[in-house]
């Protein structure tokens, strides 16, 4: 899997994912430590990478864009601050989320829970209400 690790996470996340055999780059590797979320999204989309972050703004961007890429993995638990724990959670979940990430999805990872939603996230039309 190809990952782009956002600035909200440690560069160690990328290093440990690479050690596990994945293609993982941290935004710092591109000199994008101050880049906007939109710029990170664009880079991930161009390189077919999954954005990995703890920044919930990425979920909002997905909803606003109504796009099918890039896929996003979000961490949603304060207890998951250590890079090693975050990587372990990704690697444990990857077999069950790999296909969804390839077609377009947002995955919320917590220590004991996983939520997955296929993309695009669309707003309900008035006639659907």
Predicted local distance difference test score (pLDDT) of residue 79: 59
Flag whether 110 is in a domain. Answer: yes
The span from the CA of 85 to the CA of 37, in Å, is 24
Report, as ranges of residue numbers, the positions in the chain whose pLDDT lies below 70: 78-79, 123-129
36: containing domain: 2-122
Flag whether 127 is in a domain. Answer: no
Flag whether 128 is in a domain. Answer: no
Q: In what order do the strands lie in the sheet with 105-110?
A: 23-26, 2-5, 50-53, 72-75, 105-110, 113-118
Predicted local distance difference test score (pLDDT) of residue 49: 98
Asked if 3 and 24 count as a contact pair (C-beta separation under 8 A), the reply is yes
Flag whether 92 is in a domain. Answer: yes
Q: Provide the number of structural domains found in the chain.
A: 1
Flag whether 129 is in a domain. Answer: no
Flag whether 102 is in a domain. Answer: yes
Flag whether 55 is in a domain. Answer: yes
Q: What is the three-class DSSP state of 26?
A: strand
pTM score of the predicted model: 0.91
Flag whether 107 is in a domain. Answer: yes
């Amino acid at each position: 899997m190809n990952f782009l690790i956002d600035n909200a996470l440690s560069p160690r996340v990328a290093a440990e994912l690479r050690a596990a055999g994945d293609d993982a780059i941290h935004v710092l590797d591109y000199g994008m430590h101050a880049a906007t979320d939109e710029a990170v999204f664009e880079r991930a989309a161009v390189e077919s990478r999954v954005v990995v972050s703890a920044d919930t703004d990425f979920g909002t961007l997905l909803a606003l864009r109504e796009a099918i890429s890039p896929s996003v993995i979000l961490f949603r638990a304060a207890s998951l601050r250590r890079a090693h724990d975050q990587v372990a959670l990704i690697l444990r979940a990857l077999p069950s989320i790999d296909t969804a990430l390839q077609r377009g999805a947002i995955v919320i990872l917590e220590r004991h829970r996983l939520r997955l939603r296929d993309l695009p996230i669309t707003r309900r039309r008035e006639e659907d209400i």
